[in-house]
């Protein structure tokens, strides 16, 4: 679906992956702006693995900014489909950046904490060393390839790394946790992985703040504060009146998954805050907002 809304002389912002967890609230926020025109292209409108299709669409719409939200994000499936993951998250990202550069458009590429190996013990700076690839999951390697392709094909890209994204418009951790709890199937949650839950509408707003600042470079954007998955689940359950479920913390080793998860992926937000003058709200406030919007609270 082409979510285009035209107004003369507005800043035209083209969003790939427009119907996804991030793309949906991002397009909604852009559409609310009187100074912007949203050109939202869902996966059914644009396959970013086809350079010809990407080039034709970007040339047709002549955007001022291109925001690439399209990605293959099934982390565990990437372990057995790494070639496809790299085609989408690596080559596809490069296609978007290259086509944007051809028409003189700025570009924002959405990346992830999975480009780090998880061995840090303090918030990770935007200029921290990524990888090494051998210590990353297949998903992490594919997203790292995407960052490299974007930097190769666009002179001044904006790369936004985020983590633990959830929202109203797709599968996510809070929805899964609450569904499992209601079904009586939630017993344990991992308590040795540390990060920052990120509410998709907050991330969308932050991306627009970066565009307003006309900035380029690498930025880390999550909600502020940090917790474990167990802490996050416990908060959700404590604030959901119709669920009375006790859960126990467990280790990653007790809950094995096909893909390696970073043990520590708290991101340092200082560069984003310095450039935009904005602060990201605490993850608890964002989670409360999510639950209210889902009519849970």
Domains of the chain (ranges; CATH) run: 11-170+200-223+264-282 (3.40.50.720)
The DSSP H or E segment spanning 147 is helix 138-153
Q: Write the pLDDT tens digit of every residue in 197-224.
A: 999 999 999 999 999 999 999 999 999 9
CA distance 76 to 171: 14
Q: Are 142 and 91 in contact (CB under 8 A)?
A: no
pLDDT band at 183 (very low <50, low <70, confident <90, very high): very high
Active site residue 235: no
pLDDT band at 187 (very low <50, low <70, confident <90, very high): very high
Q: Measuring CA to CA, which residue among 237, 226, 205 is closest to residue 268?
A: 226
Rounded to 5 degrees, φ, ψ at 251 are: -90, 165
Q: Is the pLDDT of residue 117 over 50?
A: yes
Q: Are 84 and 265 in contact (CB under 8 A)?
A: no
Q: Measuring CA to CA, which residue among 231, 242, 218, 228 is closest to residue 128?
A: 218
* Catalytic choice (114, 139, 166, 230): 139
pLDDT band at 255 (very low <50, low <70, confident <90, very high): confident
Residue with tokens 């409108």: 45
pLDDT band at 6 (very low <50, low <70, confident <90, very high): very low
Q: Is the pLDDT of residue 4 over 50?
A: no
pLDDT at residue 297, as a whole number: 42
Q: Are 191 and 250 in contact (CB under 8 A)?
A: yes
Strand intervals (E) in the chain: 11-16, 36-41, 65-68, 106-112, 158-162, 165-166, 188-190, 194-195, 198-199, 217-220, 227-228, 248-250
Over range 56-61, report the average pLDDT.
97
Q: Are 215 and 158 in contact (CB under 8 A)?
A: yes
Mean pLDDT rounded to a whole number for the chain: 94
What length does the chain have? 297
Over range 247-263, report the average pLDDT.
93
Instruction: Report the percent of the chain where pLDDT is more than 70.
Output: 96
Beta bridge partners, 222, equal: none
Query: pLDDT higher for 263 or 6?
Result: 263
Q: Write the pLDDT tens digit of every residue in 92-116.
A: 999 999 999 999 999 999 999 999 9
The answer to whether the bond into 18 is cis (omega within 30° of 0) is: no
Over range 116-134, report the average pLDDT.
96
Q: Are 55 and 25 in contact (CB under 8 A)?
A: no
The DSSP symbol for 114 reads G
Q: Are 194 and 229 in contact (CB under 8 A)?
A: no
Q: Are 115 and 139 in contact (CB under 8 A)?
A: no
């Amino acid at each position: 679906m082409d979510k285009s809304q035209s107004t003369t002389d507005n800043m035209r912002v083209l969003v790939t992956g427009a119907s996804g967890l991030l793309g949906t609230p991002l397009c909604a926020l852009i559409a609310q702006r009187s100074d912007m025109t949203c050109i939202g292209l869902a996966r059914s409108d644009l396959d970013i693995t086809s350079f010809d299709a990407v080039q034709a669409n970007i040339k047709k719409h002549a955007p001022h900014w291109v925001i690439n939200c399209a990605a293959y994000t099934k982390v565990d499936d990437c372990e057995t489909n790494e070639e496809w993951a790299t085609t989408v998250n690596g080559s596809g990202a490069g296609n978007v950046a290259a086509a944007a550069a051809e028409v003189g458009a700025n570009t924002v590429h959405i990346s992830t904490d999975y480009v780090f190996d998880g061995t840090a013990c303090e918030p990770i700076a935007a200029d921290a060393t990524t990888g090494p690839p051998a210590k990353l999951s297949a998903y992490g390697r594919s997203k790292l390839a995407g960052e490299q392709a974007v930097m190769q094909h666009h002179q001044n890209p904006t790369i936004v790394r985020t983590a633990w994204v959830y929202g109203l418009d797709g599968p996510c951790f809070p929805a899964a946790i609450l569904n499992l709890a209601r079904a009586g199937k939630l017993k344990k949650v991992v308590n040795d992985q540390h990060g920052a839950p990120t509410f998709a509408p907050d991330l969308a707003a932050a991306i627009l703040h970066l565009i307003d600042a006309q900035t380029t470079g690498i930025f880390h954007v999550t909600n502020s504060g940090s917790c474990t998955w167990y802490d996050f689940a416990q908060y959700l359950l404590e604030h959901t009146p119709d669920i009375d479920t006790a859960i126990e913390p467990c280790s990653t080793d007790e809950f094995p998954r096909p893909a390696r998860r970073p043990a520590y992926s708290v991101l340092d937000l200082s560069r984003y805050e310095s450039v935009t003058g904005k602060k990201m709200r605490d993850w608890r406030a964002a989670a409360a907002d999510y639950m209210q919007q889902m009519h849970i609270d």
